[in-house]
Amino acid sequence: MKTIRYAFVGACMAMSWPAVYAAEEADKTIEEVVVTGSFLKRSAADSPSPLSVVTSADIEDLGAPDVAEIVATLPWQSGSQTRAATFQGEGADGRTSINLRNLGQGATLPLVNGKRQAPSFYGPSGDASVNINGLLPNIAIDRIEIVKDGSSALYGSDAIAGVVNFLTKKDFEGMDMNYEFTTDEATGEGTVHQVEAMLGIQGDRGGLVASASFMDRGEINIADRYDRFGGSSASSTGQPGRLVPRGGQTIRWAAHGLNPGQPVAGNRYPRNPRGTDFGQADVDCERAAALEVGGPIGPVLGNNVCAYDFGSFFALQASEQLTKFHVTGHYDVTDSFEAYFEFAANDSEFDRLNSLNPNAPSLPIAATHFGAIEDAFRRGIEPISVNNLTRLLGGTRNTPKADRPLDTFTKSNYSDQRLNVGAVWDLELGSREWTLDMSLTKSENDSAITQVQDTQSAQMQLAINGLGGPSCNPITGTKGEGNLAYAASGGNFGAGKCYYFNPFGNSFFNRAGGRQDNLALVNPAELYQWLAGRASSDGSYSQTVIDVVASGELFELNGRTVGLAVGYQRRADKGALVVDTSLKSNNLDFAFGANDWEGKLTTNALFAEIGVPVLENLEVNFALRYEDFDELGTDTVDPKLTILWQPLDSLSVRASAGTSFRVASMQQLFGSLTTVANQTDVLGDSAFRASITNGNSDLKPESVDTYNVGFSWAPSDGFLEGFSVDVDYYRYDYTDIISRQASAGILLGDNLALRAAIAGGQTLVQAVNAGVGNRRQVIRNADGLLLRILPDFENAESAKIDGIDITTSYRFDTNYGMFRVGVQAAWAKTYDVKSGGVTFDAVGQYNEFAPVARPLPEWKVNGTLSWSMENHRAFMLVQYVDSLDYGVDLLTDPRAGAARFWRETVRLVHGQKTSDDFFTRDIKSMTTVDLQYSYSFGEQSFLSSSEVSIGVKNVFDEEPPWIPVNTAYDGTLHDMRGRVWFLRVSAGM
């Protein structure tokens, strides 16, 4: 098919046109086959849709080791998951999505060479996203075309906000290799090594281009930057943790207490026999905090909580190994028939540790528990029954194995494969040229997550009552007999059968503050092993797509050709999740459980696009697409009208209007979703709790009306030669948005109702038992404490969004080299979300509790400066991300309970000033500067070209703005790393 282009070039040259004009024509011809957003051949400069292009040169300039960092620099997106981090991933865990216009993770359609790819993961709302980080080796990417306009009339479901098309180098010949090294200056950690290579062979009748890359990214742990990111990853449950006296008891001083035999004044809970300190925090809380930095951090909130920072088990940047492979080829079977294929695969390992873990059910501990007796002694009171708000294990990642006898890690393995085979047949119908493109694309994803550690609920319930252990018969066994036998035998677990698990600090510290030497109070390592659960799951998704597209010429009109494209697409999607028996048992404290599910969706689509040059310089395009969803019994029809007016060669004006849609994901329709988030319950305590949602096959497809007007101006002569500007105004009216109800909102409603009942004289248990609050969706235990929340998937919200994109650059030549300056700016003017009858503007808001929008800066601006002279090149990128409002009153809003808690823990760890920095709703703007310098060594020995680049990202070592959330920053907005150095060595042969 190359011959098509050559023929055009030849034609241009043959007519003896001026050289520049000939080159221009050649340029246009060559670009005519690669524009995303239309099935009619056209030049990128003639696109009637707003089109942004990231070339391989841009990628090189950014020094980005992966697509995630490329996406992070795009002003047109916000809210994308671009950090391979535990707390910033929203379920992505090392996988990357793109979120154009902040319309949602699944609202932008990714394509590879115009073909679909099976989704790789589900977000916290069940939206399905393609891991665009795994699509292709960077070296294979020729350009990324971003259509910033709804495009379902052409591409079908998911093209709500737009389309991102990754186009590969298909005609490459020779071999290119890169090695890149990146490291974070502040920590010396998180180094990235990436090697990639591409080999291309081309002949007269076809060619083959293969590429591969391997990236090894090191971890940057919260502990590595504890000074900045530590303290806000704290929990109110720890080890040691918090013990809450159960209701209905009178707390009395013991014989060695302040007032022997007397009730403690105010029924307060002493922390020592002298009566100088009160609160629910374990009496050894301070001792544990002194033992090591980064784990237990001491009592807070009036000594009622023994705060514990689990941050050291989690990563700001997770360890990751990513291998990618891609090969594409084409072969001219005849002069008019070309066969092509493409295969891509990736495999990634994403590892993280686990803090193991909040004991979610808040189990009651009897007054006869060995640990409770010892704890009461240290408090100087008679033993009482308490609720357990501790976790199985504490410490830090550096705690010796002897003190933390469980391995707590999660290993994830992700892989995607994609095969595309097809053929292009050039036809002559009469005197008109037509092309028939037929292809089959099969893509699959597999996500295996193995050995997620958790606490087994039933086992813990037995052990907290002295009947734990693999040999204990809970019917006939004697409570705590095993602990006594273990002590008597000097530490032989087999000597006894029925054990207490001791969640108190006295399991580790003796009364003198030393290591506990009374083995009856120590938790044996074998008991930990028995309590721990292991959960594994395997998610899969497969998609088979048949595409048939015929495009060509109809007739001449106004000196130009009326073009038509018609097509058919059939998609067969299958999604499934398989879980192990541990998850199916619903016996896990933290994650609760999950079940197998599977679903399939068959889609048939017909579409047509016609381009009519109504005037010599005015073209009208109309596209219409019909999609039918077999299993859902519903269909959609989406039109799109575009107008392109070119009054001058240098000026084009465009306008478009249309509708787009997104059908619910497989998980939202047929699956189930479990997430775990920090929740503030009715009594003010805050802990991680599971939210579980089942699929809803009655969900309607989301729909959006989109409008865009814009212009491109690129003077080709005069003093403005080299200048170009693109301006677009966009608007989206987004309705029937599929979302998952906010679990925090559900809990808040329940809490408010229960508090009102309590204020009216009922106890919490009475209110719960009387059905007060939301008893369908908030599941509580017998003590009224929170167990789980059950939010629904629903078509609930709508949103009206508009804004302006500006892209401009100016290239000029001087005696000191060639320069190019550029600015890319995105202004989010309006993002009005209507939810539950309430409308709010998400622009400039952090949107922590918003059901649709993610953090949305009003302005995102990039400034670039490129310079090149002889063998030298340099590049500078200035990135500005606007300020945000956290959105709720931190002091009074019930939803900010976690932020108020972390204000205390940060103060405890870092002092008052840092706590004040953290506890702010004004999230400041951030400006970073990246620099890169490259020197070309040209031909060296057998290397036909060679180049070395060095660069610095975040030259001025700017800290990300404080945000009152886990780890005190947001990965969708900012890079948590400070100054980052990178080195790249490239060679071509």
Partner 1 sequence: MYPLVIALLSLFFAGQAIGDDSCASIDDRAKRLECYDQMFPPEAVSKSAPALDEEEVSATNTTSTDPAPVQEPVGQPRSPAASPEVTTATPAAKSAEPEADKGWGVDSFFNRRDAEVIESSIAALRRRETQNMIFLLANDQVWLQDVPRSIDTFHTGDKVTIKSGTLGGYFMTSADGTITRVRRIK
Range 872-901, binding partner 1 (CB under 8 A): 873, 875
Peptide linkage before 240 cis (omega within 30 of 0) = yes
6 lines the binding site for partner 1 (CB under 8 A):
yes
Out of 60, 454, 750, 805, the only residue in the binding site for partner 1 (CB under 8 A) is 60
Among 267, 766, 871, 927, which residue interacts with partner 1 (rule: CB under 8 A)? 871
Binding flag, residue 649, partner 1 (CB under 8 A):
no
The residue range among 12-20, 886-894, 900-908, 967-975 that interacts with partner 1, by the rule CB under 8 A, is 12-20
DSSP string over 476-530: T--TTHHHHHHHHTTS-GGG-S-B----SGGGTB-TTSSB---TTTSPPHHHHHH
870 belongs to the binding site for partner 1 (CB under 8 A): yes
Q: Which is nearer to partner 1, 201 or 657 (CB)?
A: 201
Backbone conformation region of residue 152, classed left if phi is above 0, alpha if psi is from -120 to 50, else beta: alpha
Interaction between residue 9 and partner 1 (CB under 8 A) = yes
| CA distances to 148, 388, 946 from 731, in Å | 11, 52, 46
Q: Smallest distance, Å, CB 59 to partner 1?
A: 10
173 scored as a contact of partner 1 (CB under 8 A): yes
Does 919 sit near partner 1 (CB under 8 A)? no
Among residues 713 and 840, whose Cβ is nearest to partner 1? 713
- The pair of three-digit structure tokens given for residue 115, joined into one six-digit string: 């073909």
Structure tokens at 588: 């896990």
Q: In this chain, which of 869, 955, 983, 985 binds partner 1, going by CB under 8 A?
A: 869
Range 488-527, binding partner 1 (CB under 8 A): none
Q: How far is the CB of 934 from partner 1 (least distance, A)?
A: 9
Q: Which stretch binds partner 1 (CB under 8 A): 283-291, 623-631, 818-826, 914-922?
A: 818-826
Q: Which of residues 131-150 bind partner 1 (CB under 8 A)?
A: 143
CA–CA gap between residue 342 and residue 332 (Å, rounded): 15
Half-sphere CA count of 267, side-chain side, radius 13 A: 8
Nearer to partner 1, 59 or 393 (CB): 59
Residues 6+ apart with CB under 8 A from 198: 137, 139, 140, 169, 172, 175, 176, 177, 209, 210, 211
Tokens of 377: 């002694």
Residue 896, SS3 per DSSP: helix
Q: Which is nearer to partner 1, 24 or 736 (CB)?
A: 24
Burial of 733 (0-12, 13-18, 19+ CB in 10 A): middle
Interface stretch with partner 1, choices 156-164, 173-181, 389-397, 476-484 (CB under 8 A)? 173-181
Give the interface size with partner 1 as a residue count (CB under 8 A): 76
d(CA 605, CA 610): 17
**Which of the ranges 375-383, 673-681, 871-879, 968-976 carries the binding residues for partner 1, by CB under 8 A?**
871-879
Stretch binding partner 1 (CB under 8 A), from 18-26, 463-471, 560-568, 781-789: 18-26
Tell me which of 38, 40, 41, 61 binds partner 1, using CB under 8 A. 61
- Under rule CB under 8 A, residue 428 binds partner 1: yes
Nearest approach, Cβ of residue 168 and partner 1 (Å): 12
Alpha helices of 130-247 — where are they, by DSSP H?
A: 152-155, 226-229
Q: What's the one-letter identity of residue 696?
A: N
Q: Which range binds partner 1 by CB under 8 A, 50-58, 470-478, 634-642, 650-658?
A: 50-58
Containing H/E element for 951? Answer: strand 945-953
Shortest distance, CB of residue 711 to partner 1, whole angstroms?
15
Member of 32, 53, 415, 729 binding partner 1 (CB under 8 A): 53
Nearer to partner 1, 10 or 771 (CB): 10
The stretch among 97-105, 313-321, 624-632, 810-818 that binds partner 1 (CB under 8 A) is 810-818
Q: 316: which 2 tokens?
A: 């700001």
Using the contact rule CB under 8 A, the part of the chain among 81-89, 224-232, 738-746, 812-820 near partner 1 is 812-820
Rounded Cα distance between 585 and 564, Å, is 57
Q: Is 814 in the site for partner 1 (CB under 8 A)?
A: no
Interacting residue with partner 1 among 32, 45, 578, 979 (CB under 8 A): 45
Distance set, CA 812 to CA 153, 405, 586, 649, 687 (Å)? 40, 65, 66, 20, 58
Instruction: Tell me whether strands 128-129 and 121-122 are parallel, antiparallel or unpaired.
Output: antiparallel
- Using the contact rule CB under 8 A, the part of the chain among 79-87, 506-514, 807-815, 917-925 near partner 1 is 807-815
Q: Show the site string, 182-211: x = touches partner 1 by CB under 8 A, - = not.
A: -----------------xxxx-x-------
Task: Determine, following the binding rule CB under 8 A, whether residue 809 of this chain makes contact with partner 1.
Answer: yes
Which position among 819, 880, 933, 981 is part of the footprint of partner 1 (CB under 8 A)? 819
The H-assigned helical ranges of 99-140 are: none
**Alpha-carbon gap, residue 432 to 554, rounded angstroms:** 7
Which one of the spans 4-12, 274-282, 434-442, 529-537 is the region binding partner 1 (CB under 8 A)?
4-12
Rounded-to-integer distance, Cα 229 and Cα 960, Å: 10
Query: Is 943 an interacting residue with respect to partner 1 (CB under 8 A)?
Result: yes
Among the residue ranges 88-96, 240-248, 263-271, 808-816, the one whose residues contact partner 1 (CB under 8 A): 808-816
Positions of E strands within 790-897: 793-814, 817-835, 838-841, 859-869, 872-881, 884-885
Residue 944 in contact with partner 1, rule: CB under 8 A:
yes
Residues 6+ apart with CB under 8 A from 675: 91, 124, 690, 691, 743
Token output for 202: 């081309």
Cβ-based nearer residue to partner 1, 46 or 848: 46
Closer to partner 1 by Cβ: residue 413 or 868:
868
Residue 26 binds partner 1 (CB under 8 A): yes
If the CB atoms of residues 816 and 892 are measured against partner 1, the closer one turns out to be: 816
In angstroms, the CA 539 to CA 449 distance is: 8
| 818 makes contact with partner 1 (CB under 8 A) | yes
Q: Phi and psi at residue 926, in whole multiples of 5°?
A: -140, 135
Rounded distance, CA 151 to CA 165, Å? Answer: 12
Nearer to partner 1, 115 or 143 (CB): 143
Query: In the bound complex, what is the minimum distance in angstroms from residue 356's beta carbon to partner 1?
Result: 48
Is 755 near partner 1 (CB under 8 A)? no
Q: Is 11 in the site for partner 1 (CB under 8 A)?
A: yes
d(CA 584, CA 577): 12
**Kind of pairing, strands 296-300 and 220-221?**
unpaired
- Nearest approach, Cβ of residue 580 and partner 1 (Å): 47
Q: Does the protein bind partner 1 through residue 172 (CB under 8 A)?
A: yes
By CB under 8 A, residue 940 contacts partner 1 = no
Q: Is 15 in the site for partner 1 (CB under 8 A)?
A: yes
The dihedrals phi and psi of 215, each to the nearest 5 degrees, come to: -120, 130
Q: Hey, which residues between 681 and 740 contact partner 1 (CB under 8 A)?
A: 714, 724
Q: Among 785, 676, 775, 134, which Cα is nearest to 454's? A: 676
Tell me the Ramachandran region of residue 771: left when phi exceeds 0, alpha when psi lies from -120 to 50, beta otherwise: left
The nearer residue to partner 1, 173 or 957, going by C-beta atoms, is 173
Q: Residue 31 in 3-state DSSP?
A: helix
